[in-house]
Amino acid sequence: NAGVTQTPKFQVLKTGQSMTLQCAQDMNHEYMSWYRQDPGMGLRLIHYSVGAGITDQGEVPNGYNVSRSTTEDFPLRLLSAAPSQTSVYFCASSYTHNQPQHFGDGTRLSIL
């Protein structure tokens, strides 16, 4: 059972480049979310989805887009990378938002 799989594990981008962080889960969870984790700031919610075709913004959505075309996949797109987006990104999933979330092992992203 793979759980939540995030790719890539590491990425270095130049300012202005775009990229997509991939997230897939095999637990048939309806709720999926993306967080960024920065030193001293904990986990901050970027975007979330309560089911296929439904997404909404979290606390820090600017500069990021998401879509949810299937239950399994929830990619996060950086439109035009900025140094302020240097962070560790975590994807998580759960049956509903009140249930414990299962996390991937993160993507470490550096923007130069």
Q: Are 75 and 23 in contact (CB under 8 A)?
A: yes
In the complex, least distance from residue 50 CB atom to another protein, rounded to whole angstroms: 6
Q: Does 104 bind another protein (CB under 8 A)?
A: yes
Of 1, 2, 14, 98, the one binding another protein by CB under 8 A = 98
Report the alpha-carbon distance of residue 30 to residue 52 in Å, rounded. 8
At 12, list the tokens: 């270095």
* Phi/psi of residue 85, nearest 5 degrees: -90, 5
Q: Are 78 and 18 in contact (CB under 8 A)?
A: yes
In the complex, least distance from residue 6 CB atom to another protein, rounded to whole angstroms: 8
- Stretch in the footprint of another protein (CB under 8 A) among 18-26, 62-70, 73-81, 89-97: 89-97
Q: Does 42 bind another protein (CB under 8 A)?
A: yes
Of 19, 27, 50, 52, the one binding another protein by CB under 8 A = 50
- The single-letter DSSP state of residue 84 is G
Report the alpha-carbon distance of residue 6 to residue 75 in Å, rounded. 9
Interface contacts to another protein, rule CB under 8 A: 4, 31, 33, 35, 40-45, 48, 50, 56, 58-59, 90, 92, 97-98, 100-106
